[in-house]
A and B are shown apart, each in its own frame.
Chain A
Amino acid sequence: GAVVSQHPSWVICKSGTSVKIECRSLDFQATTMFWYRQFPKQSLMLMATSNEGSKATYEQGVEKDKFLINHASLTLSTLTVTSAHPEDSSFYICSARGDSGYEQYFGPGTRLTVT
């Protein structure tokens, strides 16, 4: 099956610093990638959708200047949390969709802790 990786799997950073999370599709080309955030004991909330070579589309309430998304190639998307604060601490999960159009493959997630 299709595999999506994320790096790092966990990260601890100080308040005010920036953190970059990578999402890679390992064995297929991802025309669309999605970024989700999940707080403890809650469901997944979609943050943004990105298509290769174009600007990401952000969901309502998600600050595009704070959560920078780049989808530079068909196998790589990055999420940068800028000027992180403790309330940004969360589990960030990416998913990727190929040409089939209906199946999304989820990465293993990145746990971000901001101190």
Chain B
Amino acid sequence: ELKVEQNPLFLSMQEGKNYTIYCNYSTTSDRLYWYRQDPGKSLESLFVLLSNGAVKQEGRLMASLDTKARLSTLHITAAVHDLSATYFCADLAYTDKLIFGTGTRLQVFP
């Protein structure tokens, strides 16, 4: 069964703190995507990771991919309120379709 699991499902963190969201997937895919979704809105593409060991950074967010462990991480550095949103990872499975994770709802408070 094609599965993508994220944890935690919900994350409440204080501004200025660091945290990591984990994404485990079941296929041997080497293509992993991260998206952000604000309430009532569609998806915004954050990162596309295309190979083992890939690391990408944009602002306070950094994503990495370990295809051997079938694990991707999204690391948040010094969180700010504007990062509050739901974050999804998605695996481009061998079926050539995106399989989405459960989502992590991030809430950053002062």
The residues of A with any CB-CB pair to B shorter than 8 Å are 34, 42-46, 49, 93, 95, 102-109, 111
Contacts and interface: CB of A to CB of B under 8 A. Distances in A.
21 contacts: A34-B97, A42-B103, A43-B88, A43-B100, A43-B102, A43-B103, A45-B100, A46-B98, A46-B99, A93-B42, A93-B43, A102-B31, A102-B48, A102-B92, A104-B33, A105-B45, A106-B43, A108-B42, A109-B41, A109-B42, A111-B40
Interface in B25-42: 31, 33, 35, 40-42
Interface of B: 31, 33, 35, 40-43, 45, 48, 50, 88, 92, 97-103
Majority SS at the chain A contact face: strand
A92 to B, nearest CB: 10
Contacts of B100: 43-45
A43 B97 contact: no
B88 to A, nearest CB: 7
Contacts of A111: 40
Contact of B50 (A42, A43, A95, A102): A102
B48 A103 contact: yes
B37 to A, nearest CB: 9
B63 to A, nearest CB: 15
A44 B88 contact: yes
A103 B41 CA distance: 19
Contacts of A105: 45
A105 B92 CA distance: 14
B106 to A, nearest CB: 14
Q: Select the residue from A44, A46, A49 with max chain B CB neighbours within 10 A.
A: A44
A8 to B, nearest CB: 14
Contacts of B101: 43
B10 to A, nearest CB: 10
A105 B48 CA distance: 12
B42 A104 contact: no
